[in-house]
A and B are shown apart, each in its own frame.
Chain A
Amino acid sequence: MIATLPLLIPLAGAALVVALREHPRARDAAAVAAAVTTAVVVALMIPGAMDGERPEVTLAPFLPDAPILLRVDPLGLLLLLTATLLWPLTAIYAGAYFPTDAATRGRFHAFVALTLASTAGVAFAGNLVTLYLFYEMMTFATYPLVVLSRGEEAMAGGRRYLTYQLGTGIALFLPAVILTYVETGSFEFTPGGLFGPGDTGILPVAIFVLFLFGIAKAALVPVHLWLPAAMAAPVPVSALLHAVAVVNVGVFALFRVLLEVFGPASVVALRLDLVTIIVASTTVLVASLIALQLDKLKPILAYSTIGQLSYMLLGVALVNDAGMTGGMFHLVGHSVSKITLFFAVGAIAATTGATSWRELTGLAQRMPHLVIILGIGAASIVGLPPTAGFVTKYLLFVGAVEARAWLPVVVLAASTVLAATYYLRLVRTPLTAGDGAGGSSRPIPPAMLIPMGITAAVTVLLGIVPGPLLTLVRAAVP
């Protein structure tokens, strides 16, 4: 039953948030409390999982051969740990971001809690059908967040969000699930994979491609367009999409598909590694080139996310130790780095009104701590030591060279240069003289500063002491 707790606590949290809607203070406290409780419960599951325990529970018989099955394992914990550790920080940050609008804050807390519940379902899903159910549940839990501001731009973005997510889910992901069953006779995730040496020909590859583009939350080009469309959402929502849960769930689902539906042996035999590397490399380059041309901060971060997600896939598709470790490590590393950047950009917009990098001039004089935080996040995404991003990049290079996969090596190098270019603007412009977006700047509220201070510190900490996290990651690597 322990496997259900990370699902039930957020659900209870959501119910509590709705029940307490007349008392904003108690409600906000309830949201943070639910978040912290979930994080603690998930953290407590780690030692057992490291010892090889795999507690599982069947929630419902559902369909023949496809019960709703939850099973705890290190890979799932990796995803869920990231989500539940960042959730309380996001909840606190949101309190300061929507200071006056209690109703919006309430909706935010409730739907974020539902999103976290679906994340738990995805993380512990023991078979493809369970994964699909919670994956789609997440689409519906996040849609109200994307349109949180109810403005025209938000509604249009929300429509696109829903169209892409649902369209790919139904047209590609679902058929892939069904075809997998038809081919292998099972939905259940199995270490080593469901496909065996006997599965050859074009069909397994086609199924894999359906997964690759059907799981649009991983934002591979060209099914990445929902992510920029959702850009009208407020910053705490962006944090949820880009770091806490949504894109991670996409990449995680593809990890499961690569490792426990096809399995490392079939990935190599069917050349799925090559397919993934080509698609992911294209995505990295396209996203970097687009980001290079943008002025607005949030879209730059959005396209940067698209590229970074493909790093993770590149790593796991290499199916060697270093590559897989790097890919999975980056799931966590990218999350803490990217949420730092979003928190910082949100704070800048909230206090100075600046939304593009050209308006950041003079910021370093007025808010030096903010610029330092921004710099830490940027350094990590570019892959500089001593940050989490460096550890990833190191492992990915080692993995790619070991696999003699030269395309990823070239792509990694090129994209590092591109990322450095556009992130350097973010960090250098504040150092130049000027008064940016007008110079009016109120101090950053502590409820914003503390969460981003923590994530920035973790970003550095993971760069200096990656050991503990690497232990968990290694347990998840087959």
Chain B
Amino acid sequence: MNQLQGGFPLVSALLLWPLVVAAVLLPVKRMRWVRRVALAGALVELATSTWIFLRVASAPGPGFQFRERIPWIDAIGASVHVGVDGLSAPFLPLTALLTVIAVIQTRTLVAHRQKAYLVAILTLSAASAGIFTALDLVLFFVFWELMLVPTFMLIKVWGTGAERSHAATKYVLAMLSGSVALLAALVLLAVNHARQEGALTFDYLELLGTPLPSGLGTVVFFLMVFAFSLKAPLFPLHSWLPPVLQNGPVGAAMLLGGLKVGAYAFLRMIVPLLPGPFVQWRWLIATLAVAAILYGGLAALVQPDLRRLIALAGVSHVGVALLGLSTGTEEGISGALFLLISMGFTSAGLLLLAGFIHQRLGVTDVGALGGLAARAPALTAFALFLGFAEAALPGTSGFPGEFLALLGAFRAYGVPALAAVAVVVLAAGYILVWLQRAFYGPVRDPVVGRMLDLGRRESLIALAVALPILTLGLAPSLLLDAAGPAVAGLVDRLAGVVVASP
């Protein structure tokens, strides 16, 4: 195991920083300075997290780096224990970039109470980063719950859709029911440890070494699958996502739709902590994944609203990622990870696109759109590029992930995995059909005639999203090499199970 790294507690600082910036914002009066401070803070976060990722990528190893452990609640064996490895490191710059964009967009997209909005966004960002880096289950749970309040406020107060209250409530109810299950699962793990070793602990690394009786393991497994599927979201627990993305403000939607926290938790928690039940029940994950792929793809095909379409496409793609993950193969797992990161950029990019269109025309429904291309060539180029990435065309970041996930699926399941190929075709279908109708179809609404193209600031934001998509598409080894040892570690853990079971 890695030694504790001395010196500056970089990851803790990374988690605290957005909250510090949020606190600094509170006394500032001039709105312009509020936005500037928030942006500066978010950029510092982006630079730091990018640096952390590059450090991990330059010396990838099976263990955790930048590990810090501060005593917290000794009585129950909880501590502030954080660190990053090849699985979590890429999510940090992604989170930070989406935060930067959400902050920049505040000026033009948020009509009222901008300061409170920024505080909520920064809190959400800190909570997400916390989930990615927590190595203590209590800490993980705290961050998991910390997402709830800012998200609720963001949707309810700053939502752009008519049904924002309903969407916010739906989100909270879904998350709360998941939380109960998650908490129960975590406590069961700690109690099991206490029974075997004599003391409670919520420490991730210690729990990795604690043997789990198979009956208990199965219970914990199902509790976690329920909680994480809700968050991912995995079919059939996905129904909160489309209204949230449709009614939420763009910034929040980008963070919620782009950061696949729930799917990450499958990778971080279920596979390493519960290898036995995972191997036993992975067919269930695979079945749900295929159902998600087909349901999401088919529903997306007939969805006229871009933001709901993005949500359904996300459901479908999370299905592909979990199908890859369920194989327990190196290709499948690294494909899943790659997809989650890629999806972060493309989903966020598409939501950004939806934001641009909504801001100009007040709608994101294809029935009211058409002929945008003639008025807005730069926006069109951005849209097409994102469409290609969403359809997983080679050259974009969508391709390597989907390719590897499908390769893993073929390896593990053989020809039935062909069903998964359907998604790729559907993906190409639904997104390209929508773009074609909105951008090239006949002009249905005279308001399109007043459509403005992307301004300089907006073009820069679009580039900031497009560049990582292109980079990862052309040089996927950047991410694959960084994650390689960590993925190999997971596969080894699973291999141990297979050998041990009769």
Contacts and interface: CB of A to CB of B under 8 A. Distances in A.
Q: Are both chains from one complex?
A: yes
Interface of A: 60-64, 132-133, 136-137, 140, 155, 159, 162, 166-167, 170-171, 174-175, 178-179, 181-182, 203
A178 B410 contact: yes
Q: Which 10 A-B pairs have the closest CB atoms?
A: A61-B477, A133-B394, A171-B425, A182-B410, A170-B424, A178-B407, A175-B421, A136-B394, A178-B410, A182-B411
A167 B395 contact: no
Interface class of chain B by DSSP: helix
A203 B416 CA distance: 13
Contacts of B400: 62-63
B425 A63 contact: no
B136 to A, nearest CB: 33
A166 B428 contact: yes
A174 B418 CA distance: 11
A370 B480 CA distance: 58
Contacts of A175: 406, 410, 418, 421
Given A174-B424, A178-B406, A62 B477 contact: yes
B70 interface: no
B476 A132 contact: no
Contacts of A140: 393
28 contacts: A60-B474, A62-B400, A62-B476, A62-B477, A63-B400, A63-B403, A63-B480, A64-B330, A64-B404, A133-B395, A137-B394, A166-B393, A166-B428, A167-B425, A170-B392, A170-B421, A170-B424, A170-B428, A171-B424, A171-B425, A174-B406, A174-B424, A175-B410, A178-B403, A178-B406, A178-B407, A181-B407, A203-B415
Contact of A137 (B331, B391, B395, B428): B395
B169 interface: no
Nearest to B424: A170
Interface of B: 330-331, 391-395, 400, 403-404, 406-407, 410-411, 415, 418, 421, 424-425, 428, 432, 436, 440, 474-477, 480
Nearest to B393: A136
B99 to A, nearest CB: 30
Given A63-B476, A136-B395, A171-B424, 6 more contacts: A63-B480, A64-B331, A137-B395, A162-B432, A170-B421, A182-B410
A171 B403 contact: no
B388 to A, nearest CB: 8
Nearest to A147: B440
A182 to B, nearest CB: 5
A29 B173 CA distance: 67
A60 B392 CA distance: 19
Contacts of A61: 477
B470 to A, nearest CB: 13
A166 B428 CA distance: 8
A60 B428 contact: no
Contacts of B395: 133, 136-137
A310 to B, nearest CB: 26
A181 B329 CA distance: 15
Nearest to A129: B403
A137 B474 CA distance: 12
B407 A182 contact: yes
B41 to A, nearest CB: 36
A456 to B, nearest CB: 38
Given A170-B428, A175-B421, A63 B404 contact: yes
Contacts of A137: 394-395
Contacts of A166: 391, 393, 428, 432
A133 B394 CA distance: 6
Contacts of B418: 175
Contacts of B403: 63, 174, 178
A133 B392 CA distance: 12
B86 to A, nearest CB: 15
A159 B394 contact: no
Given A170-B424, A171-B425, A174-B421, A179 B410 contact: yes
A155 B415 contact: no
Contacts of B475: 60, 62
A175 B428 CA distance: 15
Contacts of A162: 432
A64 B440 contact: no
A156 to B, nearest CB: 11
B421 A159 contact: no
Nearest to A167: B425
Contacts of B480: 63-64
B421 to A, nearest CB: 5
A167 B428 contact: yes
B248 to A, nearest CB: 31
Contacts of B394: 132-133, 136-137
Contacts of B436: 159
A173 to B, nearest CB: 11
Contacts of A170: 391-392, 421, 424-425, 428
B329 to A, nearest CB: 11
A60 B474 CA distance: 8
Nearest to A139: B393
Contacts of B474: 60
B487 to A, nearest CB: 11
